[in-house]
Amino acid sequence: GAGVSQSPSNKVTEKGKDVELRCDPISGHTALYWYRQRLGQGLEFLIYFQGNSAPDKSGLPSDRFSAERTGESVSTLTIQRTQQEDSAVYLCASSVIPGPGGYEQFFGPGTRLTVL
C-alpha cells in the first residue's frame, strides 16, 4: 500500500513569510508525528497526534510553530514568520496505536524548507 506522503518536497521562502507543510499518513495509522532534521543532525521531535486525544506539543520550539490534524488523516505543520534557523527537513511519520510493547514509525520523504 501507499506509504506516508508529504508535500511539498521542497519549499523556498523568504524570512518572515508563513509556510504550511502537509502530511498524509498511512491509511489506518492513528498516530502521527512531526520531526525536524537540520543538516547533518539527528531527528528532533516536534509534535504527536493520537486519535482525538490532545496532541503532545512538547517538542515545538516556539509559538511560531503549530500543527493540526483532521481526525486520523491529513496533518499540516504551520510555521509563521519563518526565520533562517527554521531551514531544515521536516519529516512526518505515522504508526499504529502505540503502546508499551513498542511500535514502528514509518517516515515520509520529508519537506526540505529553505528560508532565505
Partner 1 sequence: GENVEQHPSTLSVQEGDSAVIKCTYSDSASNYFPWYKQELGKRPQLIIDIRSNVGEKKDQRIAVTLNKTAKHFSLHITETQPEDSAVYFCAASPLGSGGYNKLIFGAGTRLAVHP
Binding site for partner 1 (CB under 8 A): 31, 33, 35, 41-45, 48, 50, 53-54, 56, 58-59, 91, 98-105, 107-110
Q: How far is the CB of 66 from partner 1 (least distance, A)?
A: 17
Which of 50, 87 has the CB closer to partner 1? 50
By CB neighbour count within 10 A (0-12 exposed, 13-18 middle, 19+ buried), where does 70 fall? exposed
Q: Residue 39 CB: number of other CB atoms within 10 A?
A: 8
50 beta partners: 31
Angle at 80 between CA 74 and CA 82, to 5 degrees: 115
Pick the closer one to partner 1 by CB: 28 or 40.
Answer: 40
What share of residues in the chain are helix, strand, coil (percent, to 5)?
5, 45, 50
